[in-house]
Structure 1
């Protein structure tokens, strides 16, 4: 199993790769390529793929969207056009809902195009429950059992029957792969709570060994208590290695660095990880 970091908030030191607020991974497993999220736009992803010797038309077989936010979905149409053939796009059924913030002003932060535009280029598979994408690699489906300490409103809203409602981001889904060394869990922003996601993956697969957790953990605005609890839970769950960046936040990254030492890795564009 190989994971390419196609775009991330950080490009690394003296790097030819481009960075962008957002995230995109290419996961290779069982002879197939799964593009996990598409950043804000296709251009930096396609640039970085060229540097890595990756051709979208031959290396991407599926696209998985972890949730609706623009920094994870904005590059979708450009990527689909670069692929040049119809592929399967896997996401939650609610991903095209209206999704917005009201502070400091009303602004849409959801997927920045219509469902019909995607369907012109790809086939949608909108599944709220766990799904095996390729052998040994699964969508977690939506995470309904969320740890109490990871719950809380982050200031995003949706519309239901014409009424403004708080949005709990139930479309937040991750990918989990079974390897001979344990689970490798890939998350986009972990709005469901990264500890909740890891525990869900363990319950779903029956595998208690967690080889690595990769992605954004959305602790950028978290207090010290939540950060400390998250690191403690990771250690108690036996998570062996941590790869994080994007929305994790500097204080949380520092806490994981202290706890994991050389087994902590800061994500950057162009990074390649193998298991």
Structure 2
């Protein structure tokens, strides 16, 4: 088996008082003799400080895989590159698109990586529209199918400042790892939807079930029917462990603990997940 452990480098809350937190997500994947991979880079360079406090050297990663191009997942990439990271950066071809978050009727904030923040940071980009093996037992999965009637675009995200072109986050991706317990799916924000993601992963990789899901479920402020759909998706895929954080939301986390038959654990900066 490839994946030994996951260490959360950045999340919306911290598991230890000495660690930083922000609206962002980053995780370190320990693959033992097969090296290590970095999954997302948080919103700023704070994940680097957390990594140092945990005794982890991000520059030693074989590569970086990015779940999508929003700033809370890829915003720390410039800081990593400025430190001297020279490995591959794996992501969907749409990762570097321009995108905006609408804050008011005519107020838009850039949240994409295509706004020039990387212009002085050349890097080895490995565009991956579908599936790429990162290491034995570890795959990057993009191009997640959005089933008819099973996808709703996130409100107030756009690809223009006129609010005419919705950002459906086509670059949304996940990682799938083989573990001693069974397949593990590592999410970013899960903009494609949990049900769509798990269904796509199982179909694309030929998996009968998924044992563990880790990451943001994008359920903060979600209506009851969306929460019910998420629980159904977990049960349908045979998930036994859920480590939820970042954009999941406290209310959704409480609902998952009540209704999901498996184990539900809140993530935070510093959490160690042994596989």
* Fold conserved between structures, TM > 0.5: yes
Task: Tell me what 1:3 maps to.
Answer: 6
Task: Tell me what 1:77 maps to.
Answer: 78
Computed over aligned residues only, the root mean square deviation of the Cα atoms, in angstroms, reads 2.1
3-state DSSP class of the match of 1:264?
A: strand
Superposition pairs of residues 239-258 of structure 1, within 5 angstroms: 239-258=239-258
Task: Tell me what 2:207 maps to.
Answer: 207
Equivalent pairs counted in the alignment come to 268
Task: Tell me what 1:41 maps to.
Answer: 44
3-state DSSP class of the match of 2:168?
A: coil
Q: Which runs of 5+ in 1 are unaligned?
A: none
Task: Tell me what 2:30 maps to.
Answer: 28
* In structure 1, distance between residues paired with 2:119 and 2:130: 23
Q: Residue 194 in 1 paired to residue 197 in 2?
A: no
- Return the offset for 1:23: 0.3
Task: Tell me what 2:259 maps to.
Answer: 259
Change over 3 Å in CA distance of 1:147–1:113 after alignment to 2: same
Q: Which moved more, 1:238-247 or 1:201-210?
A: 201-210
Change over 3 Å in CA distance of 1:85–1:226 after alignment to 2: closer
1:68/1:171 contact within 8 Å kept? yes
Change over 3 Å in CA distance of 1:129–1:115 after alignment to 2: farther
- Return the offset for 1:101: 2.6
* In structure 1, distance between residues paired with 2:91 and 2:193: 18
Q: Residue 238 in 1 paired to residue 241 in 2?
A: no
- Return the offset for 1:115: 4.9
Q: Residue 182 in 1 paired to residue 185 in 2?
A: no
TM-score (norm 2): 0.90
- Return the offset for 1:183: 1.1
Q: Which runs of 5+ in 2 are unaligned?
A: none
1:182/1:208 contact within 8 Å kept? no
